[in-house]
Each structure stands twice: as structure tokens, then as C-alpha cells.
Chains A and B, each alone.
Chain A
Amino acid sequence: MKLAYWMYAGPAHIGTLRVASSFKNIHSIMHAPLGDDYFNVMRSMFERERDFTPVTASIVDRHVLARGSQEKVIENINRKDQQEKPDLILLTPTCTSSILQENLQNFVEKATETTQSDILLADVNHYHVNEFQAADRTLEQIVIFYLKKITKFKEMKKSIKPSINIIGIFTLGFHHQHDCREIYRLLKDLGIGINLVIPEGCKVTDLVKIPEAWLNIVPYREIGLMVAKYLEDSFLMPYVEIAPMGLMNIASWIRNICIKMRLKINYEKYIDKQTRFISQAAWFSHSIDCQNLTEKRVLVFGDATHSAAITRILVREMGIHVCCSGTYCSHDADWFREQVQGFCDQVLITEDHTQVGSKIAELEPTAIFGTQMERHVGKRLDIPCGVISAPIHIQNFPLSYRPFFGYEGANQIADLVYNSFTLGMEDHLLEIFGEYDNPIIPSKELSTDFTWTLEAQNEIIKIPRFIRNKVKKNVEKFVKLKNISIISVETIYQAKEYSND
């Protein structure tokens, strides 16, 4: 058992349901107790979805516990088949049902005899995998199921014009809809068509067209890589797994796509024009305004894709110092380390939010780029935070166009980063004239182990709020070292000279 208050990644069935409800005309039946269909609430609220979420539960209650589901699951499958006429019904076990060890596969086989729809049992282990891994696996399972139906593989033709499949746009994904539109725009500029977007809005009956594309792209590595690898092995389709987030990543994404598709287009000219003139992000970093960002220290935390990409943007494209970069995708830790190596002082791989919180308190960065949880830690410690990754909240489903991908995404990220810091001029004014907030120091801010003279207290208020705590800590460290009992103004300056920091 583990004492837990919060988790970054949801349980496995959430991943499975996200995949299933992203497809068109799939219905999921959860084998679950009453109340486990909370997914429907999330989808209806966060996505402001206008349609009923195609998920129902075949309720596991006392009777089921005593006698087994018997005909109940099959009846529910048959009913849904007649009511909704879906192409596929996905029977989804939950953590509760999986320990019942009922033979759900048997129900699936029995129901298949009487339904029009295809029926599949989601093959995920609730105690081994999290939301992302389960989604990855379920997507692969569905794709394989429909591609197995192709018998005459050799007769499959590629599209005449170059085209690709986008794998990994999901419901309840962090800015997925906006990112998808941005990818679409980029590809259109390059003259590349889209064969299929999988799974969002895709019909399972269209999946047989997957091999017609020249290439697969997997923008978010958390979900979709398994499918891409399967397609490479079975259909010799190459794939690109770079997230086009940040100007440099976009460039290598475009280069990779064009090379792997053997396109004879001058993409370098396109990249150059977009980077220097169409997008504002590169110019913005060089503009005088951004000088204040020089070596500001930040901490980055999120899923592997976003955290790695944002770290690289901050360091390479905005000249910001990343003191710590981390992810909760511990199953993908090696890839993450490799990506951020050399771009940050330390790497943090953890699924425990308290560890991230302590790290933030210890390092006291000027700003945080993290998830909703880090935003709240930031609030408590008075450190600004930009949200760059799931776990999501209703605020992360903006109505306006907010991609993280592509050239427009680069603009958005630049805005997000810049707005997270206290604005440059304000910063200076605060330094010169001191703080304009309430000059009374709350007692909890000053440690009781030391006596601060009144002058010293007044001096410390003049230090801008976001670095005040750090200065205080340094001073206290210094007096401890030197065995000074009363902290005066002079001590503060001595400490500053001593630590030179």
C-alpha cells in the first residue's frame, strides 16, 4: 500500500476510454461498479462535449459478486449494439473487475455471434500500466484488429500525392485539438496531405486505409509509438516521433519528414522564412525586452513530450537557465534524460508530487513551468507558474486557438514564458524603489531562530518579493556559519558579498 494524495497519470481504463471515445462510432462498455463512469463527467465538462459520451457501464454489484456476471455483460453488449449501432464495442475491464477474474473474453466471443458490431476486450492490466500506457496499448490493439482484415497486402497502394497519418490526437488531451490544426497547417504548406488522423474523429472502418500513407507521425510520444512501431514492422511504414514544439524542433521535424518521405522540395527555405519572419518567437528572444530573461532560473515538470520540449526551448531559444527538468513518465525516463541532458542542472523523475514540491521549495526558481499541481505549489510559494502539460483542468481547454505545436505554437509558448515572469521594467522599478506591497513582514516569513534588527527587516522588504526568500535563506546560512546572533543591515550585505549569488 502507498499513501497517496494526488497522481499525475490516471488509471488504465481512463486511457482506454480516451482512445475509444476519440474514434467515431465506437461504444465502450465498462465492466465496473456504480460510480466508475466518472470519465463521462470529465469529457462532458472539460471538453464541453455536445454529444453523449459513448461509454456505459455494465454494473458490477453484489449479485455479480456472488454469481458472476453471467448473461448481464452479453445482454448489455447486445442492447448497445441495437441502440447505437456502433462499428465496434470495446469491453473495458476496470481495476475492480479485473480482480474478479471473470472470463470476459468468453463474453466477447459469445456476444459476437449475435451482434452486428465488432467486439473487442481491451487488453490492459490495471496494476501494471497507467493511463498513457493503456491508451498506447489499446490504440495498437484496435489498429491491429482492423489491419488484420487486410489480406491482399501487396495490392495496397500508396496515395499518389505524398500523405501521412497523424497518430495520437485524443479526447481530453492537453491542447490536442489546437495542435492538430497547427500540424495540418504546416503539412499543407509543405504540400503533404493527411491520410488519416488517428484516433480523433476517425472511423474504425477507415483504418484499413492506414497503409496508403507514406509516413506516420507521432507528435506525443506518450501515446501512439506502439502503433507506429507495429506499422513499421508489418507495413514497412517509416515514422517520425518528434514533437514539433519550439522552432528548432519544428525544423528537425520538417527535415525528418521530408527526408523519410524522399520529397524533393526546398524545405530549408520554408523553415528559414517561417522562423525568421512569420513566427515572432525567434525575433522576440533577440529583442531588447527579453534581456531581462538572461539566466533567470526556472524549473520544468510535466509529461515527457512537453517537459523535454519546453526545457529545450527555454534553454536554446530563450536563453533561460533551467535548474531542474523533470517528468512523471517514469516508464520513459531514459528517453527523457537523453533529451534534456546538457540543458539543465539536474533531472527529476518522479510520480510523487510532494517530491516536486520540495524540489521547487529547495531550488526557489524564478518561475515554474509545470502541471496544475505545480501551479498550486507556485501559488503557495509565491512563484509564478505557466501550465505546459497534463494533468488537465477545465482552464486547459481554452476556446481560443492555443496550439503548442508549430510556428503559432512557438508564439504562444513565448507569450506564456514571458508573461510568467514579472515584466522587465516592473522588475527594475521594484529593485530601485523597493516593494509596493504591505511593508509589514508576516512573522512566519522570518525564522525565529535569528533576531533581525528593525533596520534589517526594513532592508529585506526592499528586495523584490520573488527573490526575497532566497536572500533570506542565504543570510541565515551565512550567520549560522559565522555564529552571528543578531542580523543587522550590515550582516545582509556581508552575506551577499560572501555568497556572491
Chain B
Amino acid sequence: MLKFECETGNYHTFCPISCVSWLYQKISDSFFLVIGTKTCGYFLQNALGVMIFAEPRYAMAELEEGDISAQLHDFNELKRLCLQIKQDRNPSVIVWIGTCTTEIIKIDLEGMAPKIEEIVEIPIIVARANGLDYAFTQGEDTVLAAMVNRCPFPKEKTPSLVLFGSLPDPVVHQLIIELKKQEIHVSGWLPENCYKQLPELGPSVYVCGINPFLSRTATTLMRRRKCQLIGAPFPIGPDGTSAWIKKICHVFGKVPKNLDERENIIWESLKDYIDLVKGKSVFFMGDNLLEISLARFLIRCKMIVYEIGIPYMDKRFQAGELQLLEKTCKDMNVPLPCIVEKPDNWNQIQRIRALKPDLVITGLAHSNPLQARGITTKWSVEFTFAQIHGFTNARDILELVTRPLRRNRNLKDSGWPSVMIKI
């Protein structure tokens, strides 16, 4: 049985408002308005790096003291800003991102949005992607869940398939083609490239997630639109992709064609990388909720996983993934890793010191200090921005995982061992 633990929650991760950075690029006619303080703005401006200089379709509605002490009227202020955005950019949708501050001072965003929407004549969607409730990638979950309510209802009652989760266009096409090979037609995707093309959702629609952090969206799809959720492992790694397709085929009553062959060919092509990682140990500190799927794939690649830290564990939404993880451990004959929800970074570092794993997957706050102590690290956020889904991109995951290991190999004759500080 898998062991679950829960620690103090004193861990480092990105604020969920960071989802703005990839969602505004994905939904090309959108505008994201983050209603928060200077702290939120400073985070976005530094985390987004050079993107900020390219006139992004996002902005801060920076709360000032008058807003906090309710001397200014929220409604008028937001109306004014939205009219300005309409005039400057004329987007098809404005997404309001609620933050910690709007939660605490209880600005009624959901209440105001419909009224301002009428005045501005642009749809306004409210997503509460705040650090009080969520971690990093869960921000996308809150936005997509809010978007569900804006999707049209289907006109016909024939069963169809809608996938949810924001992915770069090439990956979207790859996965669609993969399902097409099984004669399964993807009728829509949440989100699409344009807000105006949101998919039709209703009781006849089967939905399937492509990322492990989309549990709110899944719940909303089931409860609000009575969609039928296909619970499957996520299409990360060839094993995950194959299991994902199989599950969808099963639901649509199709017998998978050439799927195992396809998976085997991909595994064969990964051989050079697997030789590099074989027998090496990994420690996930946990910050983006992709951890279970990545760990499961890496175990299949013959690695040993000591610990899977994860911000939040939805055992129902991730049930398929957890089962596959268990099965993979059994197949590979390795002990089950410990899953640590809401980890405590300080405790984790003590465990890392004791275990000395070959690779720690962690955020930038800890990477350099660990490197300096001779612990090899991989920056976890790269997994959220790289293309890692489907058969085609399995190599990219291993490319990322092996990069620090290959670097160690290339530097091993430099004459100064990597240790700068004694651990």
C-alpha cells in the first residue's frame, strides 16, 4: 500500500497567479487582470522575466490604501479599469484573478463581474487563484473551472469527447492525432486558442483531464455540466500516454490498435537516456502537482524514487495515476515511495542530507544551495513549461532529468569536486 504523510506545509512554491503567464499566451484573445497588491505585481514581473517587455495581455489592478480601507468604491474602480482595457486592447474576455488581498478584504468579485460585464460588454470571468488556498499550477485549475460555466451547451446528444488542460498547440495536435489513430474524435478542448471557441459541454460529453492538478475543473464539469469524467492516468511518459489512451478507448468501446507496439518503439528510442538514469535515486521536494506522474514514469525508467513531495493530493482525481504508480513499483520490483503532502522544506533537507539522492527535483530557492553542497538538482518549474505530454515528448522529460547528470559527467574531470560546502 502507498504511504501518505502530511507535514507542516512550510514549503516553497510559486503563487498560483503565475498561471497568467501561460494562459494569456494560450488564449490569444484574452486579457488577464490580477487584482492584488505590489507583492503580486513584483512576483509576476520577476517570474515572467523578459515576457513582461513584450506588452503582455495581462496587468495588475494594484490595490492602494484607499481600496483596502474601502474609501474607494471597488465597483467604480474595476469598471474604470475594465473600460480602459477595452479601449486599449479590446479583448474577447477579461479574466479577473482574485488574490489573497481580495479574499481578506472580501471584495465581491463574483457579484460585481456580471454587472460590469453588462456595462463593458465583454465577458468577465472570475478565478480566485490565491496563495491562501492554492499552490502554483492549481491557478490554472481555478481559471478553467470558472471557464466551464461559459461553455455553450451541446445541440446534439451524441456522445463526444472534450479534453481539459492548457497545453501548447503542438502538443494538442499530437494528442489529437494519437486518439485519431484509435478512431476517437476530440470534439473540443478546454481551453481552446480563442475564448470564442470554447467547447460545448453537457451530459452527453465525456471529459478527460491531461494534467494532475485539474481536480476542481473536473468536479465542476461533473457537477455543473453533468459531464462524464474519464478517470485515467495522465499522458505523461509513454506508459502514462498508453494507459490514458487505453482508458479512453475502453470508454468508447474501441479495441486499442497497435498501441503496445507504439509504446514499445518509444521505450526503445529512450534506451540511451534510460541507461543514464538506471538505478539512480530521485527525491521530489514537491511544488507543482506533476510529481506523482513524473515519479511513476521515472520508476518505469528504472530509477528509484525516495520521496514524492506534493502540495495537494486529490486521491479521487488522481486515482488512476496512483494505481499505475503502485503497479509500476511492483513491476519494477522497487519499494513504494512515500508521498508527502504539504511538505516541510526544512525537514526534507534533513532527509536529503541523510539519503544523499542522485537527483533532487526542486524549486529555484533550493537549487543553488543544494548544488553547492554536492547534491545534483533539477529545477522543477521547467517541467511545467516544457512539452512533456504524449509519446512524442517522452524524450523531452528525460532530456530534462538527465541534463544535470550529463553535466556532472562533463565536469567530472575538472579537478574540483562539486562540493563547495560540506554537507
Q: Point out residues on A near B: beta carbons under 8 Å.
A: 1-7, 10-14, 32-38, 40-42, 44-45, 48-53, 56-62, 65, 76, 79, 83, 94-96, 99-100, 126-128, 130, 373, 376, 379
Residue of A nearest to B104 (CB): A99
Contact A1 B77 (CB under 8 A): yes
Contact A35 B364 (CB under 8 A): no
Partner of A52, one of B38, B42, B81, B369: B369
Contacts of B68 in A (CB 8 A): 99, 127
Min CB–CB distance B282 → chain A (angstroms):
21
Contact B101 A96 (CB under 8 A): yes
Contacts of A53 in B (CB 8 A): 365, 369
Partner of B133, one of A62, A83, A126: A62
Contact A48 B368 (CB under 8 A): yes
Contacts of B16 in A (CB 8 A): 35
Contact B67 A44 (CB under 8 A): no
Contacts of B103 in A (CB 8 A): 65
Contact B104 A56 (CB under 8 A): no
Among B362-376, those with CB < 8 Å from A are 363-369, 372
The stretch that binds A, out of B58-66, B152-160, B169-177, B232-240, is: B58-66
| Cα–Cα distance between A32 and B39 once the two chains are bound (Å) | 11
Asked if B193 is an interface residue, CB under 8 A from chain A, the answer is no
| Cα–Cα distance between A14 and B64 once the two chains are bound (Å) | 18
Contact A41 B363 (CB under 8 A): yes
Minimum-distance CB pairs A-B, first 3? A35-B15, A33-B131, A40-B365
Residue of B nearest to A61 (CB): B132
| Cα–Cα distance between A126 and B100 once the two chains are bound (Å) | 15
Contacts of A79 in B (CB 8 A): 346
Asked if B421 is an interface residue, CB under 8 A from chain A, the answer is yes
Contacts of A12 in B (CB 8 A): 38
Contact B42 A14 (CB under 8 A): yes
Asked if B2 is an interface residue, CB under 8 A from chain A, the answer is no
| Cα–Cα distance between A210 and B346 once the two chains are bound (Å) | 34
Contact B39 A36 (CB under 8 A): yes
Chain B positions 14 through 32: 1 when the CB is less than 8 Å from some CB of chain A, otherwise 0:
1111100000000000000
Contacts of B46 in A (CB 8 A): 38, 41-42
**Residue among A35, A49, A130 with the most chain B CB within 10 A?**
A35
If A35-B15, A96-B100 are given as contacts, then 12 extra A-B residue pairs at C-beta distance below 8 Å, sorted by A number, are A1-B63, A2-B62, A3-B59, A3-B62, A4-B59, A7-B38, A33-B100, A35-B18, A35-B136, A36-B15, A61-B133, A94-B39
**Residue among B42, B47, B78, B80 with the most chain A CB within 10 A?**
B42
* Known interface pairs A3-B61, A35-B135; A50-B45 also in contact (CB < 8 Å): no
Count, A-B residue pairs, CB within 8 A: 163
* Known interface pairs A33-B131, A38-B47; A3-B84 also in contact (CB < 8 Å): yes
Contacts of A45 in B (CB 8 A): 364, 368
Min CB–CB distance A126 → chain B (angstroms):
7
Partner of A2, one of B9, B61, B130, B368: B61
Among B123-155, those with CB < 8 Å from A are 130-136
Asked if B52 is an interface residue, CB under 8 A from chain A, the answer is yes
Contacts of A373 in B (CB 8 A): 53
A-B CB contact pairs (8 Å), 7 listed:
A1-B35, A2-B62, A7-B42, A13-B39, A36-B15, A36-B39, A79-B346
Among B349-385, those with CB < 8 Å from A are 349, 363-369, 372
Partner of B60, one of A3, A10, A96, A376: A3
Residue of B nearest to A128 (CB): B65
Contact B104 A96 (CB under 8 A): yes
**Residue among A53, A96, A130, A376 with the most chain B CB within 10 A?**
A96
**Residue among B41, B47, B53, B65 with the most chain A CB within 10 A?**
B53
Chain B residue total in the interface (Cβ 8 A): 63
Contacts of B366 in A (CB 8 A): 44, 52
Contacts of A126 in B (CB 8 A): 37-39
Min CB–CB distance B71 → chain A (angstroms):
12
Partner of B135, one of A34, A96, A130: A34
Residue of A nearest to B367 (CB): A44
Contacts of A35 in B (CB 8 A): 13-18, 43, 131, 135-136
Among B236-281, those with CB < 8 Å from A are none
Min CB–CB distance B26 → chain A (angstroms):
20
**Residue among B37, B47, B68 with the most chain A CB within 10 A?**
B37
Contact A6 B52 (CB under 8 A): yes
Chain B positions 409 through 423: 1 when the CB is less than 8 Å from some CB of chain A, otherwise 0:
000000000001100
Contacts of B367 in A (CB 8 A): 44
Contact B9 A59 (CB under 8 A): yes
Contacts of A13 in B (CB 8 A): 39
Asked if B72 is an interface residue, CB under 8 A from chain A, the answer is yes
Asked if B105 is an interface residue, CB under 8 A from chain A, the answer is yes
| Cα–Cα distance between A75 and B292 once the two chains are bound (Å) | 31
Contacts of B369 in A (CB 8 A): 44, 49-53
**Residue among A3, A51, A61, A94 with the most chain B CB within 10 A?**
A3
| Cα–Cα distance between A11 and B101 once the two chains are bound (Å) | 14
Contacts of A96 in B (CB 8 A): 37, 39, 100-101, 104, 131
Residue of B nearest to A57 (CB): B10
Min CB–CB distance A494 → chain B (angstroms):
37
Asked if B12 is an interface residue, CB under 8 A from chain A, the answer is yes
Contact A59 B60 (CB under 8 A): no
Contact A7 B15 (CB under 8 A): no
| Cα–Cα distance between A454 and B409 once the two chains are bound (Å) | 60
| Cα–Cα distance between A306 and B72 once the two chains are bound (Å) | 36
Contact A37 B365 (CB under 8 A): yes
Min CB–CB distance B177 → chain A (angstroms):
36
Contact B39 A11 (CB under 8 A): yes
Contact B372 A50 (CB under 8 A): yes
Contacts of B78 in A (CB 8 A): 1
Contacts of A6 in B (CB 8 A): 41, 45, 52
Min CB–CB distance A178 → chain B (angstroms):
20
Contact B60 A5 (CB under 8 A): yes
Residue of A nearest to B368 (CB): A44
| Cα–Cα distance between A89 and B65 once the two chains are bound (Å) | 28
Contact B100 A60 (CB under 8 A): yes
Contact A95 B37 (CB under 8 A): yes
Min CB–CB distance A47 → chain B (angstroms):
9
Contacts of B349 in A (CB 8 A): 52
* Known interface pairs A3-B81, A6-B45, A62-B133; A100-B368 also in contact (CB < 8 Å): no
| Cα–Cα distance between A130 and B85 once the two chains are bound (Å) | 26
Contacts of A76 in B (CB 8 A): 10
